Amino acid sequence: LFALNRERGTTLLLVTHDEALAHRADRVVSLRDGRVAGERRRAAALAP
C-alpha cells in the first residue's frame, strides 16, 4: 500500500494500533477518547 501511495501520489488513510506500521507513515495523528491527542510528521514528508 505504501509503494502504491507514493507511486500514484494518492492519499492513504490507515487506522492501526501497530506502532511499527504507524512509523512508516508520513503523518500520524493520535487519538484518545475520540479527540486528537497528538500529531507527528516525518521530516522528509515536509521537504518540497
Here the cell at position 19 is: 506502532
What's the mean pLDDT in 1-17? 90
Residue 8 has pLDDT above 70, yes or no: yes
pLDDT at 13: 92
Sign for the CA dihedral angle at 14, 18, 21, 23 comes to positive
Q: How many CA atoms lie within 13 A of 37 on its CB side?
A: 5
The more confidently predicted of residues 48 and 43 is: 43
pLDDT at 44: 62
**What are the distances in angstroms from CA 38 to CA 14, 16, 35, 46?**
16, 15, 9, 17
pLDDT in tens, 15-39: 999 999 999 899 999 999 999 999 9
Residue 48 has pLDDT above 60, yes or no: no
